[in-house]
Structure 1
Amino acid sequence: MAIRHQVIEQSPEAVWAVLLNPALYSEWVVGTTDSRPLDDQWPQVDAALEYSVPIGPLSYEGRTTVRRYEPHRWLELEAHSGRLGTARIAIEVRPWGGHTLVIVDEHPLRGLGGKLHTAPLDLLIQLRHRTMLPRLAQTVERTTHQAPSADAHASPEARPPGMRS
């Protein structure tokens, strides 16, 4: 199995805000573009999203389905890759001090990928995760800094001392 982890220097809530937004999926999942939900149920079990997977001048549509969702703890997905079969992608989110530890466990599940699952395939998945987890961290960082802070809208009297202008 390909298991990789990364500490993201943001709160678990900020990480979940990205994981639970299907429109952001293609920003952090390597190899995908143009993600969109298939219904308004994401991330409930059996909800799905679609995305494009460009391969040179060609492109195909991929689909990922939620198989397990435990708020603030787990998001497990099944990624459908056409003739290659499906893969299980388990994302665990843990508070880590004031930050977040994200653990990704991915392995082929069904179809050709599941039948031909070998150590070299796990190595390729590990290499993909070396790019994917930093992209997730960057997306969390970017979306956290885009959100307006509550203090920005508070009256000067409501702000902590030293924050009044």
Structure 2
Amino acid sequence: MSENECLIEASVEDVFAILTDGWSYAAWVVGASRIRDVSAPWPEPGGRIHHSVGAWPFLLDDTTMVLEYEPLHRLRLQLRVWPVGKGEVEFQATKTPTGCRLVMTEKATSGPVSLLPDRLADLMLHPRNAETLHRLKLTAERR
């Protein structure tokens, strides 16, 4: 499991406006290259983002599905990137005096990364997730 956190000088409402805009994911999620569709009931459980990962001509089409959603507090997603496997990502937001503290937790649930010890998996996931949160922070602070 990998955990990253970020202090964002923007409101929880602004941060969740980005987290719940499925069409924006390719702009701030590292590895997501395009969004093909966002299907209802996004961002409610069962809603999906149909995305592509990689760079042309080596694109993989897959989906991310909402598992749990608590408005302005928590969003838990199931990631699929065939053939690499599946994972779960959770975003938890808390209000701070200057904005928002956002914690991102990711865990591989199937595929090769899920077989690695947590410490080794974290070495792979932590830098990517730190950059993802940095991009989200920049986007939220510009709103």
> Structure 1: how far apart are the matches of 2:25 and 2:63?
11
Match of 1:90 in 2: 90
Pick closer, same or farther for the CA change 1:11–1:130 going to 2, 3 Å. same
User: Which residue type is aligned with residue 90 of structure 1?
Assistant: E
Pick closer, same or farther for the CA change 1:36–1:55 going to 2, 3 Å. closer
**8 Å contact from structure 2 (residues 7, 101) kept in 1:** yes
Select between 13-22 and 34-43 the one with higher mean Cα deviation: 34-43
Q: Deviating runs (4+, > 3 A) in structure 1?
A: none
* Correspondences of 1:1-165 after superposition (within 5 Å): 1-55=1-55, 57-142=57-142, 144=143
Deviations 1:121-154 (A, max 9, x none): 2111001012111100111123x1xxxxxxxxxx
> Structure 1: how far apart are the matches of 2:56 and 2:38?
25
> Structure 1: how far apart are the matches of 2:27 and 2:55?
17
Task: Tell me the number of residue pairs that the alignment of Structure 1 and Structure 2 aligns.
Answer: 143
User: How many angstroms does 1:76 deviate by?
Assistant: 0.3
Q: Which structure has the larger Rg?
A: 1
Select between 11-20 and 35-44 the one with higher mean Cα deviation: 35-44
User: Which residue type is aligned with residue 79 of structure 1?
Assistant: L
Instruction: Give me the identity figure in percent.
Output: 27
Q: Which has the higher helix share?
A: 1
What is the aligned-residue RMSD (CA, Å)? Answer: 1.6
Deviations 1:11-32 (A, max 9, x none): 0000011001001111110011
Pick closer, same or farther for the CA change 1:15–1:36 going to 2, 3 Å. farther
**Higher RCO (CA-CA < 8 Å; seq separation 6+):** 2
Query: Runs of 5+ in structure 2 lacking a partner?
Result: none
> Structure 2: how far apart are the matches of 1:84 and 1:36?
20
Q: TM-score, normalised by structure 2?
A: 0.92
Q: TM-score, normalised by structure 1?
A: 0.80
User: Which residue type is aligned with residue 8 of structure 2?
Assistant: I
**8 Å contact from structure 2 (residues 64, 79) kept in 1:** yes
Secondary structure of 1:139's counterpart equals helix
Query: Runs of 5+ in structure 1 lacking a partner?
Result: 145-165
